[in-house]
Structure 1
């Protein structure tokens, strides 16, 4: 009787052991399949969104703000705006006047990157500010509350606006807040892009009494648009590279 009972326990142990082996095998097979299968469309989309959201931090500043950006001044041919400098400070509260800083801060501003450009003739200076948010939804809510674009056509001041960023020794050296005459706002992905522009001679906007012909600050929205679209353009994910999280 004892021998029979012992054999029964051995059978039970073997069955249990086999069950464990089968379960372990299934687990390893599932893990291997998960690790080696192609990512789904949804996973690729999430990876692309994460990569875009990290560009402001992962990209070199010179890539966020290229040295030269093409624009069309209205005469039908392409000209190039040149970067005069990049602001090292990225604080949300220091980049713009209080009314704007309050709006972007309320919607979770993470940073504001700024750089200044001058047009090809070096007569107009444009400070561009990239406002970083956690996702496109927060960026869109802030965008809808921000003051609409205003182009004074070269007459009078504009406020509230992004702070001007002059750079000594360059064509934008005299572009300060008092010289601001235009502002624009754009959005792409988790980024809102603000611009403020004026004349490089530094004359106060309040001293400009006559409207300039045409659109003297047409370069500004084109620069903002170009920078916004480059930051938000989704790349094809490469899941083999460490910067991608598929």
Structure 2
């Protein structure tokens, strides 16, 4: 064994050479490796024999003529300075430790820089989201939590109110009803054809404003009120009368049973017409309202099938009455749709 410091390197014995400690003449068996020389560690690091035998200067070879028990250890030069070698090894170990410590510190700084960058980036993204410039898809909210996707109720919203419901049911048809409200303005225009408005009237005595058997029909079906207005255009006069009933069924029945006609309304520049002559009478209904028209020449001339202006005037006033009644229902439906609790 060695006495302090690293062990000397061992080399195998060469063939034909007796190993140290073997009996001569026992063949060429390999030696048992180098043995510690007598004298112990004395002379380590001392100047070597100038002859190169590897023995310390001033120390005789204890076995003259025997093979060198430490082949290769001396190398023909000075004995290695084992203390210097040990110091160099320790220096390398310290340098390696400093390199590891320095590398760890650099890695820590690099990780810190990455984390700081991530924090700065996150804060910048959050500021953008708070200012309304974030992702419009709502991927991340300003608080950093996922923005919930929009939800929709599985219950279908109720349909908007139907105007017909309001002009068919007296419990819903509560809007004020006047002749001037139903026939507003000083004239009426239909498809660029203008009609000047004459007199208007309203009464609860439905039969008093009719001709022939229409009064009886209105009374039998529960007529509550009749509103009239007269319009004139190019010598043709037309009176339209709107009768109000308690139900849609009553209005339809009155229309089907209609006979005679609505009495012409004179005044406001319109003289008597459709007396003792032939005029055009029509009847129709919408909701709980039935409307009737009587059209003829203002000078009393009889109306024939060839008198297209009279038929056109009757159509225009009938369409106007229909539109006005339906507009009444639409207005009440719109008001109900915007009212709370409806």
Unaligned runs of 5+ in 1: 1-38, 73-77, 148-159
Which of 35, 58, 82 pairs up with 2:176?
A: 58
Conservation of the 8 A alpha-carbon contact between 2:255 and 2:283? yes
Matched residues in 2 for 1:59 and 1:192: separation? 15
Backbone CA RMSD of aligned residues: 3.4
User: How far 1:63 moved relative to its partner?
Assistant: 2.3
Question: 1:154: which partner in 2?
Answer: none
Instruction: Deviation per CA, 1:107-161: give whole Å up to 9, x if none.
Output: 1111111111112x2x0111111011112111111111214xxxxxxxxxxxx22
Question: 1:183: which partner in 2?
Answer: 281
When Rg is computed on C-alpha atoms for both structures, the one with the higher figure is: 2
Query: What is the TM-score of this pair, normalised by structure 1?
Result: 0.61
Query: Which of structures 1 and 2 has the larger relative contact order (alpha carbons within 8 angstroms, sep 6+)?
Result: 1
Matched residues in 1 for 2:318 and 2:224: separation? 19
Matched residues in 2 for 1:56 and 1:132: separation? 13
Matched residues in 1 for 2:167 and 2:197: separation? 28
Question: 2:189: which partner in 1?
Answer: 70
Matched residues in 2 for 1:241 and 1:175: separation? 46
Instruction: Deviation per CA, 1:95-114: give whole Å up to 9, x if none.
Output: 11241111121111111111
Question: 1:19: which partner in 2?
Answer: none
Matched residues in 1 for 2:220 and 2:214: separation? 10
Question: 2:335: which partner in 1?
Answer: 238
For residues 153-168 of structure 1, the aligned pairs below 5 Å read 160-167=260-267
User: How far 1:214 moved relative to its partner?
Assistant: 3.2
Which of 116, 129, 134 pairs up with 2:230?
A: 116
Matched residues in 2 for 1:41 and 1:240: separation? 10
Conservation of the 8 A alpha-carbon contact between 2:167 and 2:325? no
SS at match of 2:213: helix
Question: 1:126: which partner in 2?
Answer: 238
Matched residues in 2 for 1:90 and 1:141: separation? 19
User: How far 1:175 moved relative to its partner?
Assistant: 2.3
Matched residues in 1 for 2:158 and 2:281: separation? 42
SS at match of 2:210: coil
Which of 216, 230, 233 pairs up with 1:102?
A: 216
Matched residues in 1 for 2:163 and 2:179: separation? 24
User: How far 1:47 moved relative to its partner?
Assistant: 10
Conservation of the 8 A alpha-carbon contact between 2:211 and 2:261? yes
Matched residues in 2 for 1:173 and 1:58: separation? 30
Structure with more of its chain in helix, by fraction: 1
Residues 1:70 and 1:180: Cα distance change in structure 2 (over 3 Å)? farther
Unaligned runs of 5+ in 2: 1-156
Matched residues in 1 for 2:322 and 2:187: separation? 15
Instruction: Deviation per CA, 1:52-95: give whole Å up to 9, x if none.
Output: 747697034222013322235xxxxx211111011243421101
Instruction: Deviation per CA, 1:25-75: give whole Å up to 9, x if none.
Output: xxxxxxxxxxxxxx9659x45995269747697034222013322235xxx
SS at match of 1:178: coil
Matched residues in 1 for 2:254 and 2:207: separation? 15
For residues 1-246 of structure 1, the aligned pairs below 5 Å read 44=161, 48-49=165-166, 53=170, 58-66=176-184, 67-72=186-191, 78-119=192-233, 121=234, 123-147=235-259, 160-167=260-267, 169-170=268-269, 172-175=270-273, 177-179=275-277, 181-201=279-299, 203=300, 205=302, 212-233=306-327, 234-235=329-330, 236-239=333-336
User: How far 1:176 moved relative to its partner?
Assistant: 5.1
